Amino acid sequence: MSQCWRMNSTTTASSQGRPNIKPTASRSAPTAGTPAPTSTSATATAPAPAASASSSTPPSSIDNAKTADLADGLNDSPFTFDDGGNQVDWARSFHGLSAQPFDKEAASILTAPITIDDIEIKPDGIVYLPEIKYRRILNRAFGPGGWGLAPRGETIVTDKSVTREYALVAHGRLVSVARGEQDYFNPEGIPTAVEGCKSNAMTRCCKDLGVASELWDPRFIRQFTSKHTKELFVEHAITKRRKKVYLRKDDQPRYPYKEVKAYGAAT
């Protein structure tokens, strides 16, 4: 019925000069119980979003992956000079090694007896000289800028430590080669560990110059620990855990530790 009416109205409009309107079939309302037709595009099921790596991968696996990437190194291999031999390639060269001894003034500074007040002791009883004092000795002997450390390979990063080989160069001559190492506890600490690795290599190179040689002498170490160190028990202020530590006799435990009596000691 509605279709016939639309056609009649079209004919009347045409006869009056109005534009023709093509007849269109009317759509009947859906009957009860019959689902309304839906567009194919509307009913298409959207693909489920892909699970992100962070949600599907445990945090520990992500951390391990980062550490594994760092194990390939820090992309800091030494420069290779290709200038016809105008510069010494300290990554491979042994130029000047044992060519001649240093002058007497430098030698006396390097081999001078170590000052007792400069020696420190770690909580586990190992005596050492802080790395800054090695640098002061080298500066007095060769002058600031008269010595340096040249890397001889890339930094190797493992799951717990970094290591790299360095050459100690003084007055344009190779003095010694040593490999430094330093532990770290999380990837954010790698830059600090790299600096500690360099200082560790420097102290090892200084052995060949006689700097602080007493600290490698077992008899001197026994005498120093007997006269200048003490061992005591300390307790952590928060965890209440106790342990035995070594200190210089003129030092005291520092927060969060405080000195306590040993277990079973008389009160």
Please write the tens of the pLDDT for every residue from 66-98: 544 554 556 667 666 566 667 888 888 889 898
The confidence score (pLDDT) of residue 226 equals: 95
| pLDDT-wise least confident of 4-8, 75-79, 107-111, 131-135 | 4-8
By the 10 Å C-beta count (0-12 exposed, 13-18 middle, 19+ buried), 264 is classed as: exposed
| pLDDT-wise least confident of 55-69, 70-84, 186-200, 247-261 | 55-69
Bridge-partner residues for 258, per DSSP? 235
CB 199 within 8 A of CB 180: yes
Backbone torsion region of residue 257, taken as left when φ is above 0, otherwise alpha when ψ lies between -120 and 50, otherwise beta: beta
The whole-number average pLDDT for the span 9-25 is 44
Q: Which range, 75-89, 192-206, 252-266, has the best average confidence (pLDDT)? A: 192-206
**Average pLDDT, rounded, for the chain:** 79
